[in-house]
Structure 1
């Protein structure tokens, strides 16, 4: 490999990763990001989220020409029509994606080549909390289990250390595992005369 070629590991450009880390070390303000989602109720349990713009690395991002759209729905047993995955399923999707990406990123930083990686997530929830039928039942997931099937060119001890590190540094995993302030504010509209 010549110095002109960029080295990739696990599909990531290692030179770009090093440059990004150095830029943030030199200017920590570049690490501040603001991600945004907009949601529109359609009917019943169906609603649509759109995601396009975000702020990061010191500027508004303009690289996305179109929005990503996600339909939230519910299964019939929860009064829906299977219009899409429900929000707690999307949470599992977000958690799987974040833990996977964090694992891949930090494996690349450690010089570990991943050959195969898949996850299976199972979240248990008792909807009595949602329906306010039992005050002792928590609203939301009671437990989420992630089974990761991974093969990499490192020892079992290095792999265990990587997975522990990835769990501790996954933004979505940390958001789920610690209290995060969430506010809900009603937009007030002027009343017609």
Structure 2
């Protein structure tokens, strides 16, 4: 009987990661993914997004049996009722999650064990942009600051390289850091 033990590092299956990279190198079309979300307005600042299916590795994914639901809301000072985090807070959540996951993936590929990792994010927005009160003020974040607290079995230089890789290769960070065309039209 062949008892193959799964080797994990940072919670990831090392062999599966290696096989995934090899498969992508062998067939670049497998790397093309499409993620989707649906959103319905409820009332005031409240709306709900559902996420389930996506396309990746050459096919429609069927691993999810139920929708993920996210409630978007606003605090009272922004005319809401605290129904949920607001969309710019969700953006920080998405950014934190993506940079963290990217860092873990790259650490694993480099043989670095992460012992502890936590992240704090802050972003500054001026409502003059959102409300159209000053055309010179951007409605988006003016700056986002990410502080990662990391304990790992590597040198400070390797850790700095790992942080740079996480920023450079995180899909959400890359999307936020460069202009991305967004097409908005009526259905």
TM-score (normalised: structure 2): 0.98
Please name the residue that 2:171 is paired with. 171
Q: Hey, which bits of structure 1, 4+ residues long, moved more than 2 A?
A: none
CA distance in 1, matches of 2:158, 2:172: 23
CA distance in 2, matches of 1:140, 1:33: 26
CA distance in 2, matches of 1:6, 1:27: 25
Please name the residue that 2:115 is paired with. 115
CA distance in 2, matches of 1:115, 1:59: 35
Instruction: Verify: 1:7 aligned to 2:11, yes or no.
Output: no
After superposition, the CA RMSD in angstroms is 1.0
CA distance in 2, matches of 1:53, 1:129: 34
Q: Report the secondary structure of 1:6's partner residue.
A: coil
CA distance in 2, matches of 1:105, 1:3: 26
In the TM superposition, residue 185 of structure 1 has moved relative to its aligned partner by 1.3
| Structure 1: runs of 5+ lacking an equivalent | 188-193
CA distance in 2, matches of 1:70, 1:21: 31
Deviations 1:17-54 (A, max 9, x none): 00000000000000000000000000001000000000
Please name the residue that 1:70 is paired with. 70
Q: Report the secondary structure of 1:122's partner residue.
A: strand
1:45-64 alignment, distance < 5 Å: 45-64=45-64
In the TM superposition, residue 4 of structure 1 has moved relative to its aligned partner by 1.6
Deviations 1:143-165 (A, max 9, x none): 00000000000000100110011
Aligned positions, number: 186
| Structure 2: runs of 5+ lacking an equivalent | none
In the TM superposition, residue 58 of structure 1 has moved relative to its aligned partner by 0.2
TM-score (normalised: structure 1): 0.95
